[in-house]
Chains A and B, each alone.
Chain A
């Protein structure tokens, strides 16, 4: 163990910072490192700020390849918007939608926008299903064929013939006397694949009449979604402006907007506004504080420049690692870097002290231990988070670690280069230090019974706080939907009949064929669950593109059962002998015909397929998704999950909540581990009793903070744990500074008080934000409580600092 007695400042004859190598080498290293970051940053992606809400979520599956598939699907979902124009008059609703369509259709940010449905679509599908009638048998056709139920098939043909209208054409009757293609078309229409919910094609557009209003649909796929560099450049801004114009032109018209981009936009606007407000207030308060205390521009400018460089470095490193930086990362990251100002404050509090001989190397010697331990504490905690499967957490960790390191290096290598101050601390700056010491003295002077009562009351408070604590890791708390958007989403799912469940299956296979075969086995089970009310519908590629094996089976079955009976069927329908020969020849000619992705690509099925086909991934596997709608029993669906067979059930919201809960547990472990690491580190510097006392400051501050959260009904979640990780960084720092700086109490108390206030300004104000409220409350409280506890607990083994000491000082 090292001796715990710190050398007096005057005893420091030759601090190692005074060595030429460090004095010159340090700034060079700082500049080289920052130049490198700048170089890499400008060669890479510039300022890609993401506000995509999906992108912020952790992957719900631990398997990397599945996580990638999830990400790909999430990106796709992030690009889709559905807008309805609403008007009691259909033609006005149609007109409004057409106006919006015309105003945005050439926008380069839009990949595809669908307004009018071609009248040829149905005949095209009809023809396709006729061409592949033997390969793509509908479910009911297959069942009748398996049963050899020719009579029913024949009766169905007559039923179609005797219907007053037919959606499909009967023109193929001679080549398809069992109407296999027609039956497939009918099955697709009935299953909702070619229209869903209240929606149907009316006057060439997809429309619905719901509760007295007409809704005409516009389906938009954006080429970019959550990426924003400026709010004005966002596609949603343009759409909203156009909507405003149209609603003013066409009376009684309103629009229903749904889709992730609208939410990402709403969230980003709110977050940006919160960032602007909070950082402005925090900035002004911090500046005022620095001006009042130092009355010099040097500490103010230096601190601000250091902090700005820290934020820039954090941003650059995050962009280098992740290619984009999420808006939420900036909210957390900039607050965390606010801690960096603490390093500056410690420096400048000493800088004004004439006893330091106005030498930077001497100042650094005094504060090095405190700020280094504070930095290590934070870095240790955050390093572990880079390994967590949560992109947001990883980004915040990288952002904060790099930003803090930059600020730390600036303080220890660059600050000593600042010319010595001519100013001296004025007595009025000691007023607060005196007041605080008196307060501490009184607390320490309390007699034992009072202390016991205070301790017991605190204990009771903590116990009741923990008993009332509500653990709640709900991903929905990330973002509270604006009321209008929530209404629109609900209405949109009622109109489309597609209630998004956030649940889906991912199918993995070694080839597209294997994926389709596995999917066919899965959809069979899903059909059973659908019939028992577990879900309302699902979208699977194999419903319109059967596997090759299934297509071949279908072809053979049709040949075995139908071709021999076709002669009688054709004669019954009044066709001649030549039609029979032609049908047999046509059947034989189709022996190698198979429906493929390529053939479907330009059809309506191709567009549907595009939304659920994931394709080949770099792990050598092929993937498809089966999207589920109207899920009522997730548990029943999860029983189908069979990772060993490449069938993965993804229940995004619940899984993300579970993942957040696991991450919280992991974060608590990280927190405990970092305390242990810090404690072991302290043992190398201080005796064990002192190490315990120093470590106790943030521990007790954290415990009391959590109790406050419990009492006030705030949830305990991952963000609280993230906040608690920040507490040792400052709490230990305060304890060490009180301990190390007792010989120069005025500067110590000043720097710690300023540090506490700037932290409370930056973190405490976050409590008023929507996204980072619990985080802000936790850090703000933790820091404030650490500040109170540090002089009381952290240095009990040393003579009590008194006002007289301060005066002597």
Chain B
């Protein structure tokens, strides 16, 4: 069943995502700076966000794509948690000082010491927090908007960072609705968010999860 799903739907999703971000972007400048600051400000009004996501990873050289699904929890204070449900359960925590992957049997893989992971984690959190300044330090920002959707193109300034991530694309309206990471190898990963809502606080269980 899983195999059928992968074979049928993944190529469709992947092509759609690729086309979505294939647009004409304008570099950040005096003309659009205030718009972008406003966009980030809007995103930042939600210190907590929850929802579901679909992730599509495309390995270009293998010509294969892999889809994962699950829930996400964003907390401006604690970080971003990806609770992957299918095809294999696992948790990815992007905290302020570390990036941790955890399997259901309790095994952990901590990538905290690595600067690229750390910066990636910081950047994603900065985007979710609506921190324009931090994003601008790390990336060259370009912008466009179509039909009430805004699109951001982020290109790393640092060549070491660039050797891992070539470009990031983000689309949203009131909050981030999808984003795409293109690796320097040409591989990419697309996230599409749905059912996003903004609770006032985390549950105790969720807080514990972040604290672990």
Chain A residues within 8 Å of B, Cβ to Cβ: 117, 119, 122, 152, 154-156, 158-159, 161-167, 169-171, 173-174, 186, 189-190, 192, 195, 200-204, 571-575
Contacts and interface: CB of A to CB of B under 8 A. Distances in A.
Contacts of A190: 109-111, 113
Nearest to A144: B107
A171 B88 contact: no
Given A158-B87, A200-B114, A164 B120 contact: yes
A171 B92 contact: no
B189 interface: yes
B64 A574 contact: yes
A167 B159 contact: no
Given A167-B111, A170-B59, 4 more contacts: A161-B57, A161-B68, A173-B64, A190-B111
A169 B118 CA distance: 18
A189 B187 CA distance: 21
A204 B159 contact: yes
B167 to A, nearest CB: 13
Contact of A156 (B55, B103, B158, B187): B103
A201 B189 CA distance: 23
B147 interface: no
A119 B163 CA distance: 6
B163 A162 contact: no
Given A159-B101, A161-B66, A574-B6, A170 B187 contact: yes
A169 B124 CA distance: 21
Contacts of B88: 154-155, 158-159, 162
A202 B158 contact: yes
A190 B117 CA distance: 12
Contacts of A201: 115-116, 160
Given A119-B163, A155-B90, A171 B57 contact: no
Contacts of B113: 189-190, 192, 195, 200
B164 interface: yes
Contacts of A164: 55, 82, 92, 120, 124, 181, 189, 191
A575 B3 CA distance: 10
B103 A167 contact: no
A200 B115 contact: yes
A158 B92 CA distance: 12
B103 A159 contact: yes
B59 A162 contact: no
A198 B159 CA distance: 19
B84 interface: yes
B195 interface: no
B183 interface: yes
A154 B158 CA distance: 34
Most B CB within 10 A of own CB, among A122, A163, A192, A203: A163
A169 B187 CA distance: 9
B185 interface: yes
Contacts of B109: 156, 159, 186, 190
Interface string B159-187: 11101110000000000000001010101
B69 to A, nearest CB: 10
Interface string B170-212: 0000000000010101010101000000000000000000000
Nearest to B7: A574
A682 B111 CA distance: 77
Nearest to A171: B61
Given A152-B103, A574-B3, A162 B90 contact: yes
Contacts of A165: 116-117, 120, 164-165, 181, 183, 189
B181 A202 contact: no
B116 A159 contact: no
Interface in B108-151: 109-111, 113-118, 120, 124
A558 B85 CA distance: 29
10 nearest A-B residue pairs (beta carbon): A200-B115, A158-B88, A119-B163, A162-B68, A201-B160, A203-B158, A171-B61, A159-B90, A161-B66, A204-B159
Contacts of B82: 162, 164
A186 B107 CA distance: 14
Contacts of A156: 103, 107, 109
Interface string B51-72: 0000101010110101010000
A163 to B, nearest CB: 6
A204 B103 contact: no
A122 B163 contact: yes
Contact of B117 (A167, A192, A204, A575): A167
A165 B111 CA distance: 11
A215 to B, nearest CB: 13
A117 B2 CA distance: 42
A382 to B, nearest CB: 54
B116 A167 contact: yes
Nearest to B84: A162
B116 to A, nearest CB: 7
29 contacts: A119-B163, A152-B103, A155-B88, A159-B92, A159-B109, A162-B55, A162-B88, A162-B90, A164-B181, A165-B120, A165-B181, A165-B183, A166-B183, A167-B111, A167-B114, A171-B187, A173-B59, A173-B64, A174-B62, A186-B109, A189-B111, A189-B114, A190-B109, A190-B113, A200-B115, A201-B115, A202-B115, A572-B3, A574-B6
A375 B77 CA distance: 80
A161 B6 CA distance: 14
Contacts of B68: 158, 161-162
A207 B210 CA distance: 29
Nearest to B120: A165
Contacts of A171: 59, 61-62, 185, 187
B114 A195 contact: yes
Contacts of B59: 170-171, 173
Given A119-B159, A152-B105, A167 B164 contact: yes
Contacts of A117: 160
Contacts of A155: 88, 90, 103-105
A201 B162 CA distance: 11
Contacts of A195: 113-115
B208 to A, nearest CB: 21
Contacts of B101: 159, 163
B160 A162 contact: no
A574 B181 CA distance: 23
B183 to A, nearest CB: 7
Contacts of B87: 158
A392 B115 CA distance: 46
Contacts of B2: 572
B108 to A, nearest CB: 11
